[in-house]
Structure 1
C-alpha cells in the first residue's frame, strides 16, 4: 500500500550521481524539493518543482523514445516472432515526437495539472517554440539509429538464434542493497547466451561515447554477481552506440568491480553530507546545496525558473 512520507527514500543510481556531480542545487531540486509534488494537496512550491522535473529537452525525449521502441521491437520478436521494420520504427518515433510537441503547444493547462500524463518540452515551456535546427537534426537521426539498431550485434543475435538465448525482463527496475543503501539498476537488455554460457548485458546508447559508460555496466555486472551468483568472467557487457553503429564489448575483472564499488561508496558519502537525518533522509536547507560554478549550465537547467529567481 502506498504511504505518503515526509521525505523520499534514500537510494543511489548513476543518474543520481551524475546530477550531484553536475550541480548540488539541481540535485536538491531533483531528489528532494519536488517530493510529494504529484499529490493534489501538496503545497504549490513542491508541485512547481515536480512539474519542472518532468520537462524534457529534445535530446532526452529522443533518447527515451528510441529506448522505448527498442524494447517494443524486442518484445514483438520474442512474443510473436515478428521483426519490426526500420520504416515502422521511424514512423512510430515520429508520432511520439509529434505528440510531445502537440502536448507542449496545446495542452499546457492539462500538463500543469497532471505533468506525468502529458508531455512538456523544455524549449516550448521556456521559449514558447522549438529550436527548429535542433528538432530537425534529431528527426534526421531517426532512420540512422533504427537502421543501426536493427543491424546491431545484439539484435542480430536475438533474431538469428533465439533458441540459444535465455531472456530476462528488459527495461525493468531492479535494485540491490549495498551497505544498507538501495542501489537501482536499469538494464536495457539482459540475456544468457546458452552457446557460450555467458551472461550478456546490453545498453543501447543514442549519444556519443562517454568515459563512464563502462563503469555503469560494471554496476550491472555486480548486480548479476549478487543475484545470480554469476562469476565476473562469465559476464559480457556491451554498449551498442546506435547513432554511429559502433559496438563495444568488455569482460571485466574483479579489479574493475572493486574500483566501481569504491567510486559508488565515495558518491554515497558525498550525498550523505546533504542529509540532516540519515534514517529519515531529511535534507539540509536548500541554500546548503551550492549552485554549480559553471553558470552556462544554469541556462539549460529545468529548475532555472525557481533557482535563479531573486527570492531563492
Structure 2
C-alpha cells in the first residue's frame, strides 16, 4: 500500500474515471503505462495505443485553453489585448492540423503504429467526424473566441490594481503530507486594493455541471493549503464561453469553510478508495484476463465515447 500511495497522484479527472468505469481506469493509468515498455505484450501495446486517442471536443477544449493562457500572459506582460480573429484562426489551424493528420495516419494507427502525433477517436473508429458535430464545433469556435475577448474577466484584469498570478497552470499539493493532488488552474489574480484572490475556470462545454463548482472548490483548497489564504479572501468563478439556453456567460459561487472541508473529505475518501483498488489489482496481477473481468461502465453512452471500446466489443455491449 505504501508503494502505491507513494506513486499515485490524485486528480479530479482520475476520480471521475474511477467512479465511472474501473476497467477504463486501469486501462488508462496502469496497463497503458506498461504498454510503453520494450517488453510489453500485444494487449498492453494495444491499450497504450488506444489510450493515446483524442477526440474533436477534447482537442477543441485543449486548444482554447492554451490560446487563452497565452493571450492572458501577453495581456499582462505587454499590454496586448486579446484579438478574437487571431485566436479564431489559430484555433481553426490547430483543429484542421489534427483532423488532417488523423486522416493521413489512420491506416498506420489501425495497424498498431502510432509513432507519436495525434489521432481523433472519431477518425480511428468511424473514419469521419459526424457532420452535426463539425457544425457545433464551428459555432463554438466563433462564439468562444468572441466570448473570451469580451468577457467580464478580461475587462476586470486590465485594471491597474490587478496582480496576475504567473504560476504555471499545472500545479500540485499534498494533503496530510502524503496524498499528492494534481490540479490545473486556468487563471488566478489578486486585487491589491481589497486583497481578494479570484480563481477563474474557463468552460467550453455545451452545458453547466455541478462538477464545475467542485473543481473550483479544489482550486480554492489549493490556495488555502499552499498559500494559507483565508476563505473570505477567495472568490471562485466560471466563465462559460459557449453560451446556450443552459449556460450563462459567468457564474460566481459563494464559498465557505464548509465547502472546502467537504471537498477535502471527498478527495481523501476517493484517494483511499483508489489506492486500495490499485493495491488489490496489483496483488491479483494486472493482466488481460483480470482486467477484462472488471465491470464496464453501466452507462452505454460512456462506452460509446470510450477510447477502449474496441477491446470491450467482444462482450457484445458496444
Q: TM-score range by the shorter chain?
A: 0.7 to 0.9
CA 1:301–1:84 in 2, change beyond 3 Å: closer, same or farther? Answer: same
Cα deviation digits, residues 69-95 of structure 1 (max 9, x gap): 111211222232212311111111100
- d(CA) in 1 for partners of 2:258, 2:293: 36
The structure 1 residue matched to 2:27, chosen from 29, 32, 42, is 29
Aligned to 1:195: 193
Structure 1 position 92 matched with structure 2 position 90: yes
Partner of 1:299: 304
1:271 is the counterpart of 2:274: yes
1:48 maps to which of 46, 49, 52: 46
The CA distance in 2 between the partners of 1:259 and 1:176, in whole Å, is: 17
* Residues 45-91 of structure 1 deviation map (CA, whole Å, 9 limit, x = unaligned): 32321221221222111111111111121122223221231111111
Question: Would you say 1:176 and 2:181 are equivalent positions?
Answer: no
Q: Which residue of 1 aligns with 2:264?
A: 261
Q: Distance in 2 between matches of 1:177 and 1:6?
A: 15
Q: How many residues align?
A: 304
- For the pair 1:140 / 2:143, whether they are aligned, the reply is no
Distance in 1 (CA, whole Å) between partners of 2:286 and 2:5 is: 8
SS in 1 for 2:172: strand
1:239-254 aligned at under 5 Å gives the runs: 239-244=238-243, 246-254=249-257
Write out the 4+ residue segments of structure 1 that deviate beyond 4 Å after TM superposition.
5-8, 109-115, 277-280
Given that 2:76 and 2:164 are in contact with CA atoms closer than 8 Å, whether structure 1 keeps it comes out as no
Report if aligned partners of 1:272, 1:278 keep a CA contact under 8 Å in 2.
no
Question: Structure 1 residues 120, 267: CA separation in 2 closer, same or farther (over 3 Å shift)?
Answer: same
The Cα of 1:114 is off from its aligned counterpart by 4.8
Q: Cα offset for 1:233?
A: 0.8
Supply the RMSD in Å over aligned alpha carbons.
Answer: 2.8
Report the 3-state secondary structure (helix = DSSP H, G, I; strand = E; otherwise coil) of the residue aligned with 1:65.
helix
| Contact 2:4/2:275, CA 8 A, preserved across alignment | no
Judged with a 3 Å threshold, the aligned counterparts in structure 2 of structure 1 residues 109 and 40 are, in CA distance, closer, same or farther, namely: farther
- Mapped contact 1:71–1:170 kept (Cα < 8 A): no
Larger proportion of helix:
2
Give the TM-score taking structure 2 as reference length: 0.86
Q: How many angstroms apart in 2 are the aligned matches of 1:283 and 1:41?
A: 15
**Aligned residue for 2:57?**
59
C-alpha change, 1:6 and 1:44, in structure 2 (3 Å) is farther
Q: TM-score, normalised by structure 1?
A: 0.88
Structure 2: 5+ residue runs without aligned partners?
A: none
Please say if residues 57 and 121 of structure 1, whose CA atoms lie closer than 8 Å, have aligned partners that are also in contact. yes
Q: For 2:253 and 2:241, how far apart are their aligned partners in 1?
A: 17
| Compared CA separation, residues 291 and 194, structure 1 to 2 (3 A) | same
Q: CA deviation at 1:154?
A: 1.5
Give the 3-state SS of the residue equivalent to 2:167 in structure 1. coil
Distance 2:264 2:23 in 1: 25
After superposing the two structures, state which structure 1 stretch, 79-88 or 194-203, moved more. 79-88
> Structure 1: any 5+ residue segments left out of the alignment?
none
